[in-house]
Every structure is written in C-alpha cells, then in structure tokens.
Amino acid sequence: MICAFTGHRDLPADGSEEYRTLLFSLESAVRDALHEGCSRFLIGGAKGFDLLAGEWILALKKVDPSVSLAVYVPYRGQANAYSAADAARYRSVIAQADEVVLLNETYSRGCMRERNARLIADADLCIAYVRRRPSGSAQTMRMAERKGIPVYRI
C-alpha cells in the first residue's frame, strides 16, 4: 500500500508545544499507516510538512529498509526560492529518496495542483496536516476524500 502526505508549508515554531504535538501526531499516523500495510510513502517536496514527513520516513527507513520514499517534484527548480536551510533539507531528502518523479520541466500555473492530484491518484491512504481552508493542502485532502481513501488528519 502507498501513503501520500499533504500539509502546510508553515509549521509551528520548532520546540513549541504545538510542534511537539505535530511530531507526536506524525509518528502516530505513520505507525498506523504501517499497520495498515503501507510501505511506500509519497511527498510533494514542498517546504514545511512535506520535508518534515520525508525526513521522518527516511529516518524510519534506516531501521526498516522495506520502507521507501518517493518525491513528486512539480517542476525543476522547485526549491530555488526556498531559504538556504529549507533548500538544504530539500536537497538532502531528494538525495536519499528511493525515487524522484519530475512532473514538469518548468513552472506552470497548474503544476502544483497537478502534483497534488498525482500524489492522491497513486495513494491508498493520506496523512494530512491541514489547519486552514482554503489551501492547497485542504484541496489535496478533499481529493483524497472524494477518491474514498482513508485520510488521517493530524
């Protein structure tokens, strides 16, 4: 089974109670996904929740090599506008991923939505960190709900 992650680019402050709760919820949701039979995980490469989830799966992969991570990159140069720290995290996750799927050579108006639709089309389960609507993450979560796949909201 395959699990896709979706979530906001902005996260609670590192070290805050809300951030610790997010980490606990992420760990719990991943554990549940593994229990459901997921071994392949998908992220969209966005800063924030995507990279956090990717790093979490890569850490898990060190103790369970049957776990794999794929990054669906909406366009080449996705991280060009990221901060230096986020760009470094992005490069690290990309370098360690089992698969990197480049969906478009260049940015286009609909490339993020296309990436999100592809994540959900390929998934059997979704872990979503959604705190506000409207947002691309909320839209992706609704795609999963319309597809009828389980959504673990954290």
Whole-number percent of the chain with pLDDT over 90 = 93
pLDDT tens digit sequence for 84-118: 999 999 999 999 999 999 999 999 999 999 999 99
**CATH entry, 17-153, from 3.40.50.2000, 3.40.50.450, 3.30.360.10, 3.90.245.10:** 3.40.50.450
pTM of the model: 0.94
pLDDT for res 69: 98
Domain locations along the chain: 17-153
CB 7: neighbour CB atoms within 10 A?
A: 28
Q: Is 45 exposed, middle or buried (0-12, 13-18, 19+ CB in 10 A)?
A: buried
pLDDT tens digit sequence for 110-141: 999 999 999 999 999 999 999 877 888 899 99
pLDDT tens digit sequence for 31-55: 999 999 999 999 999 999 999 999 9
pLDDT tens digit sequence for 49-84: 999 999 999 999 999 999 999 999 999 999 999 999
82 touches 104 (CB < 8 A): no
Give me 117's structure tokens.
């639709």
pLDDT for res 131: 87
pLDDT at residue 24 is higher than 90: yes
For residue 151, which phi and psi values (nearest 5 degrees)? Answer: -120, 120
Strand segments (E) across 57-147 = 68-73, 99-102, 125-129
